[in-house]
Chain A
Amino acid sequence: MTLNQLPAGKLGVVLCITAEGPIRRRMLDLGLVPGTIVKTLRSSPAGNPTAYLIRGSVIAFRSNTANQVLIRTIHRR
């Protein structure tokens, strides 16, 4: 599944990043690499963008950005 499908409060682990170019670069800079654990925190009032907890910082992605990250849900840390 992709990151934008991960419901609020759930954890996932990054499998791979399908984004290309500067977005990919920026994601790698944030530490979004295969194996990174992410948690969906909340959506903005309009439902998009959504904030994620990534390596201790809170980062918001629009859904058309978050869908370029493949993840697998995990249940416990």
Chain B
Amino acid sequence: MKMDSPITDSIVEAIYAKAETITNKVVKTPIQQKETWTNRIDNIVTSRALGFPLMLALLCVVFWITITGANAPSEFLARFLFMIEDHLTAFFSFINSPSWLHGLLVLGMYRALAWVVSVMLPPMAIFFPIFTLLEDLGYLPRIAFNLDHMFQRVGAHGKQALTMAMGFGCNAAGVIAARIIDSPRERLVAIVTNNFVPCNGRFPILITMATIVSSLTIRSAYQTVMGAVIVLAGVLIGILATFLVSWGLTNTILQGEPSFFILELPPYRKPQVGKVIVRSFFDRTIFVLTRAVIVAAPAGALTWLLANIKINQLSLITHLSTRLDPFGKIMGLDGVILLAFILGLPANEIVIPIMLMSYLSAGAMLELESLDAIRELLTANGWTWLTAVNFIIFSLLHFPCGTTLLTIHKETGSWKWTALSAVIPTVLGIIICIIITQITHLFLPLF
């Protein structure tokens, strides 16, 4: 049956006419006193002058709360989980287990797990509730309202702004969030590009590297300011890449009529704080963490094996990174870094630990005590500010983590789109790193 037949129209009209007469009879609306609160707030948060600055400020505040708030619990969790590791080690030596079994299970699997949990859990347990609070408050649709025009320009949907915001917490969650976009074409755009916003797992990379870049370039009290600026620049690069790739997709393989944009802006309401915290913790935090744990454990075991199986006195990790080294050098990185990103596929949190482990030729993942120690180790391995910059670029522009890829496959039901979601950012990252490196090599000697 054709949907737009005059009959269906008349039916809808009749239903609304009937509903109207009934409501007019039984519902009394007091004459509106001036303006509603919702209207007053909207006049500010969607205004031409304050709409964008307020959104950006809010984003910064959310990051700041997440990062500073997660510091202490992260440290506590790490200490607690590594204390358990000591007990596990004691237990394994007590039962006289062979050292490879202890290495594989404790130094490989358990340590990777401990890492991912202590790095990911606290920021997610802070970020997701804040996000859910904003959702419950009713602010999120206003973000889509404010930004829709930019998304329209690149052929995407305004609600993609919300999936991106969710992606700051976790890209897998951002990919699932793309369900809010009705049109399949625009939903795919949102899914494929979500990986460009740095998630909670990559924020520590961004922060560590920003600190290292600023300490390698300037030596003064401005280092922390410089670090913050670099983190913000990283986020903006990711957002820029999102628009660029969205535009590219909608003009090539995802061409088509733009779908319609109809968005309800519900009245603001007081968020149910208790409910929000419980809901976001169980629905989002635990969900994401479980998936990360499922992929991190085998990755830890694999990494341990690669670091401990030796051929001609050298570990497999050394062999592999030597192979990757020439290509890494063209990108302004090196073989160890590339291998760390590849082995870090299951979870981005383990990229830096794997890299440090390889540089130290140690047999298990480890984290150095201080940033200064990391910086010294890196410069001893030939790092310059350029290496750190390329590292930041590549951490923003490379294949999504294993959890996100599995989620993309689950959401799209297509291996083709899953593969494209990995290939597009990786190629983009490689090209940009090569360009930056070659241009620097060309012009730097001139100064």
Contacts and interface: CB of A to CB of B under 8 A. Distances in A.
A10 interface: no
B229 interface: no
Contact of A28 (B12, B158, B261): B12
Interface string B227-243: 00000000000000000
Contact of B260 (A41, A48, A58, A65): A65
A72 to B, nearest CB: 17
A31 interface: yes
B46 A44 contact: yes
A25 B265 CA distance: 19
B39 to A, nearest CB: 7
A31 B17 CA distance: 10
Interface residues of A, number: 34
A74 interface: no
Chain A binding surface SS class:
mixed
Interface string A21-56: 111111111110111100001101111110100000
Given A25-B3, A33-B12, A41 B263 contact: no
A59 interface: yes
Contacts, number: 95
Interface in B16-45: 16-17, 38-39, 42-43
Nearest to B158: A49
Interface string B155-187: 000100000000000000000000000000000
A28 B262 CA distance: 12
Nearest to B12: A28
Contacts of A26: 260, 262
A45 B261 contact: no
Nearest to B263: A60
Interface string B345-387: 0000000000000000000000000000000000000000000
A49 B148 contact: yes
Contacts of A33: 9, 12-13, 16
A45 B152 contact: no
Interface stretch (B47-55, B84-92, B103-111): B47-55
Contacts of B43: 42
Given A57-B266, A60-B263, A62-B261, A49 B39 contact: no
Given A24-B4, A41-B39, A44-B51, A65 B13 contact: no
Contacts of A64: 258
Contact of A45 (B16, B17, B52, B265): B52
Interface centre among A23, A28, A34, A65 (most CB of B within 10 A): A28
A20 B8 CA distance: 13
Nearest to A61: B262
Interface in B130-145: 145
B4 A21 contact: yes
Nearest to A53: B39
Contacts of B148: 44, 46, 48-49, 60, 62
A59 B152 CA distance: 17
Contacts of A34: 13
A62 B39 contact: no
Contacts of B145: 44, 49, 51, 60
15 contacts: A24-B4, A26-B262, A33-B12, A33-B13, A44-B149, A45-B46, A45-B146, A48-B152, A49-B149, A51-B46, A51-B145, A58-B42, A58-B264, A58-B266, A62-B148
Given A25-B3, A30-B262, 16 more contacts: A19-B260, A22-B260, A24-B4, A26-B260, A28-B9, A28-B12, A35-B17, A36-B16, A42-B46, A44-B149, A45-B149, A48-B152, A49-B261, A58-B265, A60-B262, A64-B258
